[in-house]
Amino acid sequence: MDVRGKTILVTGAGRGIGRSLALHFARKGASLALLDTNAEDLAESCARCSEVGVVARSYLADVANEDSVVGALDQVTADFGRLDGLINNAGIVRDALLVKVKDGQVVGKMTLAQWQAVIDVNLTGVFLCAREAAQRMIQRAVGGVIVNLSSISRAGNVGQTNYTAAKAGVAAMTVVWAKELARYGIRVGAVAPGFIRTPMVESMKPEALAKMTSPIPLGRLGEPQEIAHAVGFIFENELFTGRCLEVDAGLRM
């Protein structure tokens, strides 16, 4: 897809990878619909895209809430008159061991609230946004592209039962939607980043961060713009669908 003049919706666009995605596509000449739960961050992302000279609008919405998603997608199509791309980027972590043991005693476990919060945003949120975007793309009958953010952790990362389940689900849903939506000219891909320098990762304790980066073959965290570049490849390459692109500095879980 040549994204010049096309409308692309980015969820979780207030910061981190989402902001980089917004700027990447702004520099390519796309119009941006930026969705997030944080109004201040969203305004900053919007302003940065506008500086590039493209139209960028903010949508304060919660991807885990059906009414919120439907309302935001209605507004996007009313404002821009079209929706050509969706990047399902919004995500959260609520890490905990399934069962935590200290000195032979069980001292904690992943709570149902931790499980549910991550499933709601990272799995249900992706489902809701993709469903609403696909419906609108099908109605316009000019095709489109949907890219979902999975993760290297989909293979199974300690302390991330909830996140792993959601991100494995995202990779699997990508295959289903690629098959279901190909007949409408809609391609669906995923990107599975390794560890990327964003507020999500920088909020980790320094010891935990050092432990995480030491086995990375390239010896460093990825940068958000390197993930945006990979998503850009999926948009541009018309043969790409139903696959998950791994951008992880060579790390394997």
Enzyme catalytic residues? 163
Token readout for 161 is 């039962």
The minimum distance between CB 196 and ligand NAP, in angstroms, equals 4
What φ, ψ does residue 7 adopt, rounded to 5°?
Answer: -105, 125
- Strand, helix or coil at 111? coil
**Could you tell me how many residues of this chain bind ligand NAP (CB under 6 A)?**
29
Contact residue for ligand NAP among 195, 234, 235, 249 (CB under 6 A): 195
Q: Which residues pair with 96 in a beta bridge?
A: 160
Examine residue 72 and tell whether it contacts ligand NAP (CB under 6 A).
no
Examine residue 80 and tell whether it contacts ligand NAP (CB under 6 A).
no
| Chain-centroid distance, C-alpha 122 | 8
Nearer to ligand NAP, 64 or 130 (CB): 64
Residue 118, judged by CB atoms within 10 A of its CB (0-12, 13-18, 19+), counts as buried
Contact residue for ligand NAP among 200, 216, 247, 251 (CB under 6 A): 200
Residue 90's closest CA among 48, 149, 147, 143?
149
Beta strands in the chain (DSSP E): 7-11, 31-36, 56-60, 85-88, 99-102, 105-109, 144-149, 186-193, 244-247
Contact residue for ligand NAP among 7, 77, 89, 160 (CB under 6 A): 89
Q: How far is CA 2 from CA 133, 160, 201, in A?
A: 19, 37, 32
Q: Which stretch binds ligand NAP (CB under 6 A): 1-9, 34-42, 131-139, 173-181?
A: 34-42
Examine residue 92 and tell whether it contacts ligand NAP (CB under 6 A).
yes
Q: Which stretch binds ligand NAP (CB under 6 A): 48-56, 97-105, 179-187, 188-196?
A: 188-196
Instruction: Identify residues 49-68 at the interface with ligand NAP (CB under 6 A).
Output: 62-64
Instruction: Identify residues 3-22 at the interface with ligand NAP (CB under 6 A).
Output: 11-12, 14-18
> What count of other Cβ atoms lies within 10 Å of the Cβ of residue 112?
8
Examine residue 156 and tell whether it contacts ligand NAP (CB under 6 A).
no
Q: Which stretch binds ligand NAP (CB under 6 A): 73-81, 87-95, 102-110, 138-146?
A: 87-95
